[in-house]
Structure 1
Amino acid sequence: MRDFLMRPMSVLPCSRHLNFVRADGCMLYDIEDKAYLDAFAANGNVLAGHAQALIIDAYNNPDAHSPRLLFEDLQQLLPSYLSLFQLFPSGVAALQQACRISRQRRNKPYIIAISEDIVQNSFLVMSSSDEEHFSPLFSIDTHFELVSHNLSHPPVTGEKKLSQLGKSCKGACLCSLETFFAELSDQTAAIIIDPSIGVGGSIEPCRNFFVRLNEFCLASGIDLISNETQCGIGRTGSRMFGFQLLNIHPDIVCTGPSIANGYPIGVSIYAEHFADLVEPVTKTGCSACSAASATIKLIADQNLLRRSEQLGEFLKDKLHAVLGTNPLVNHIRGLGLMLEIELINQESALATHHRASRAGLITGTGNVRPGIIRLTPPLIFSADMAENVVRILAEAIAASE
């Protein structure tokens, strides 16, 4: 069983060799007071940086602990039709509740994931992914018959199909999508999308695909669920939520701890047509609501949305300029401050990752797709820090040649 677990909160595979005792902004410090530049931010959850006084004070202020205030803050960021909220202690709980509510509304069995990036640790959600690594968990245990037989995925996944839709594939994915809807739409309650496939490789989505998917869902009576737990708020740049970049209108949006700068929280946000099914649920500490409201305020006050977009472009351009012709580098991709470098194999990626950590740079690796170096720094990252990331990674990759 241990072999099938994903550990999204692991800072890095060699974390047993590191013992961080304090953090400040974008820096981590070990027991010997060695400084590390944090370009991973606990899987992107520490959105506004470590030890933010505004967020800590809000978390510790009992007078500010109100879910209603958080709902009002979120409503200002969302389309008006997304007006119903439920609170949970994690993103996975929020997404599972979204699946339950959708199945109850549609009275259909299937919940389908469009990407291989369904990373939350639960049987219900992992089994909606097409990741072969998890398939032994769901194929024989009759206790999970509902999950194993009533959750599936269409043949429209993978980097080439999603990121190159309308280019080299010449619309093949749309054909696959049409075939899928012809065969399974009458059995499908909801489809889960990730606006920027994080653990699957930060694959920049083709917007035409998602617009067409939205149209199919609307015409077929299928709920569209946007899983924003990887994107967080503001990380993809220019808009607070990833689905807003795609010009789509999901029925449900799910978020995770990043909206509270890493404090445990999950929020399911529903369209108004779920009013008869969605009752107020608060299964998380209200102090996390205060942290979330403070995080939203900090992002607005420091214009971190624009910073994420500009610095993400800067870092991506630098990575392309320095590493783009390296024979060990297959691809550099991503949106905003959610970037990934795909190396030719897992061995090169892990070697680079370890060398970078020894040089004082914390990065992530792909939990699903091998050969990945993940960069999800706090949105307060600076251009100088971005330059250091490129320099250290270039040296670490060069040592692998």
Structure 2
Amino acid sequence: MTLAWRHLLRALYLETSTPGTPKTCPSPKGAFWTSVAKLGLHTKPSMPPCDFTPERYQSLAYDRVLEIHKQHLSPVLTAYFSEPLLLHQGHMEWLFDYEGNRYLDFFSGIVTVSVGHCHPKVNAVAQKQLGRLWHTSAVFFHPPIHEYAEKLSALLPEPLKVIFLLNSGSEANDLAMLMARAHSNNTDIISFRGAYHGCSPYTLGLTNVGFYKMELPSGMGCQSTMCPDVFRGPWGGSHCRDSPVQTIRKCSCASDCCQAKDQYIEQFKDTLSTSVAKSIAGFFAEPIQGVNGVVQYPKGFLKEAFELVRERGGVCIADEVQTGFGRLGSHFWGFQTHGVLPDIVTMAKGIGNGFPMAAVVTTPEIAKSLAKRLLHFNTFGGNPMACAIGSSVLEVIKEENLQENSQEVGTYMLLKFAKLRDEFEIVGDVRGKGLMIGIEMVKDKTSRQPLPREEVNQIHQDCKRMGLLIGRGGTFSQVTRRLAFTYHFRHSASHPRCASLNQKLILQWKYSVLP
């Protein structure tokens, strides 16, 4: 049956079913589907309450926006939906479009808005600094940069105490690559397949996602290794992940022993033996892969991998661009959940709640190695505006107990989604930690083949229509990423209407993929 027919059939259910009149429809396989009406899908799900009223939109007409976008903006900036969403205003976990429609933001500006859209304290600090000093060269001192450096360094363990401030995650990983090579006097750097570490000419070598690759040389000296994905990879079981939810795959491992981890370590050793020089510069790893679909590694894997890298003279880099600042709940930094201490940590996105800001934190020894070889300078890195905003973000996270909130709300959501996974065949995996959650959509649980892209696209369209914005990820764009919906989502996540909304979304997905 074609996708169009599936949508037509689903539309007929939605239009003809009435409350209290359950209907069934035989599938080609002879199974009977409970009606949309019986499942409560005859009406649009109710949204959690919101006491904020957006301003009236008074800017460019929608059609004019589309014309300007087509004529003057990069063709790479493709719309996320078939009908592009024109956003006008944001308030905490909510976004509003030009027509005043309200959306619950489950993606937070691609994992960037860490304490809420236009948080009042962050806004006030930004406005105050805006009236005092916007920018001055880093060759001059100004209090915001020193205040921020002191606050950030206090959140990192020894000896990670030297901070380089920049403007984006790609810049941060660029600099980390340079540091690793300058300190080790080696060239080769390893990263996981499926990793995303940036899209600059340098970091494209670290990024191993097909549609970010091109036919021209980039990122010389970078090698990829197998991603230890315990759901989609060759090995995985029911005790592998540091998560409230494990995979549906079975294994005979004890809770403190993981055979999958041992198998993936052998693959990592094979990469070291065959694909790089005897001495290497370093190894990059996201504590949880973001763009690849919230992929978690077996417990203990990173610890052994770091030891192997250091035996080869390399340094270990934790890319905390998506996982840092308490998002995972149990710890402030993702690397802490693996029981490891990296030599370099990169961070961006949530560091400034949407304001362009990034940082690289390393040891005094590595910082000195770079200084001997390069007069590193960044015009906008560490500017007064960014540092003032960064300080206010750290204060909000602490004052409002947002790390604890990530743990509480994230665990609640993961366990709820796991129940839906057990009920519906197309929900193959639920994974994550804290407020970094991935739901992998599959054709069926036995084959674990990804749900076709056009059907995942329809899921996203349906979610938008019902007032929910979610992300996507994975090699085949088959994973819905509920990454870091703003920390203030605590006011909505436990609301009964929100639980109902999420359940109805899964049910909607079921009817989007009728056989």
TM-score (norm 1): 0.89
Quick one: distance in 2 between partners of 1:307 and 1:162?
33
Quick one: distance in 2 between partners of 1:230 and 1:269?
16
97, 103, 118: which is aligned to 2:196?
A: 118
Quick one: distance in 1 between partners of 2:498 and 2:285?
29
After TM superposition, the structure 1 stretch with the greater mean CA deviation from structure 2, 321-330 or 288-297, is 321-330
Alignment partner of 1:396 is 2:508? yes
Structure 1 residue aligned with 2:63: none
Q: Which has the higher helix share?
A: 1
Other structure's SS at 2:214 match: helix
1:90-239 residue pairs with structure 2 within 5 A?
A: 90-138=168-216, 141=217, 144=218, 147-148=219-220, 150-158=221-229, 159-160=232-233, 167=258, 169=260, 171-183=262-274, 184=276, 186-239=278-331
Quick one: distance in 2 between partners of 1:16 and 1:286?
38
Structure 2 residue aligned with 1:354: 461
Aligned Cα root-mean-square deviation (Å): 2.5
Once the two structures are TM-superposed, the CA of residue 396 in structure 1 deviates from its matched residue by 2.7
Sort the Cα spacing of 1:250 and 1:119 in 2 relative to 1 into closer, same or farther, 3 A: closer
Sort the Cα spacing of 1:216 and 1:161 in 2 relative to 1 into closer, same or farther, 3 A: farther
1:351-390 residue pairs with structure 2 within 5 A?
A: 351-366=458-473, 368-376=475-483, 377-382=485-490, 383-384=494-495, 386-387=498-499, 389-390=501-502
Quick one: distance in 2 between partners of 1:27 and 1:367?
26
Once the two structures are TM-superposed, the CA of residue 29 in structure 1 deviates from its matched residue by 1.0
* Structure 1: runs of 5+ lacking an equivalent: none
Quick one: distance in 2 between partners of 1:237 and 1:206?
18
Is the Cα–Cα contact under 8 Å of residues 55 and 291 in structure 1 kept in the other structure? yes
Once the two structures are TM-superposed, the CA of residue 60 in structure 1 deviates from its matched residue by 2.5
Amino acid at match of 2:429: H
Is the Cα–Cα contact under 8 Å of residues 161 and 173 in structure 1 kept in the other structure? no
Sort the Cα spacing of 1:389 and 1:46 in 2 relative to 1 into closer, same or farther, 3 A: farther
Count of matched residue positions in the alignment of Structure 1 and Structure 2? 388
Alignment partner of 1:291 is 2:389? yes
CA offsets per residue over residues 32-70 of structure 1, 9 Å max, x none?
A: 211111111011100101110111122222369611111
Other structure's SS at 1:153 match: strand
After TM superposition, the structure 1 stretch with the greater mean CA deviation from structure 2, 208-217 or 155-164, is 155-164
125, 128, 147: which is aligned to 1:61?
A: 128
Is the Cα–Cα contact under 8 Å of residues 38 and 361 in structure 1 kept in the other structure? yes
* Structure 2: runs of 5+ lacking an equivalent: 1-74, 133-141, 241-256, 443-450
Quick one: distance in 2 between partners of 1:115 and 1:306?
32
- Indicate the structure (1 or 2) with the bigger Cα radius of gyration: 2
Alignment partner of 1:331 is 2:429? yes
Quick one: distance in 2 between partners of 1:71 and 1:388?
43
Structure 2 residue aligned with 1:316: 414
Quick one: distance in 1 between partners of 2:273 and 2:105?
46
Is the Cα–Cα contact under 8 Å of residues 38 and 362 in structure 1 kept in the other structure? yes
Once the two structures are TM-superposed, the CA of residue 82 in structure 1 deviates from its matched residue by 0.4
Other structure's SS at 2:423 match: coil
After TM superposition, the structure 1 stretch with the greater mean CA deviation from structure 2, 266-275 or 113-122, is 113-122
96, 101, 104: which is aligned to 1:29?
A: 96
After TM superposition, the structure 1 stretch with the greater mean CA deviation from structure 2, 215-224 or 40-49, is 215-224
Is the Cα–Cα contact under 8 Å of residues 229 and 254 in structure 1 kept in the other structure? yes
Once the two structures are TM-superposed, the CA of residue 75 in structure 1 deviates from its matched residue by 1.1
Amino acid at match of 2:93: C
Is the Cα–Cα contact under 8 Å of residues 87 and 281 in structure 1 kept in the other structure? no
Other structure's SS at 1:123 match: coil
After TM superposition, the structure 1 stretch with the greater mean CA deviation from structure 2, 18-27 or 116-125, is 116-125
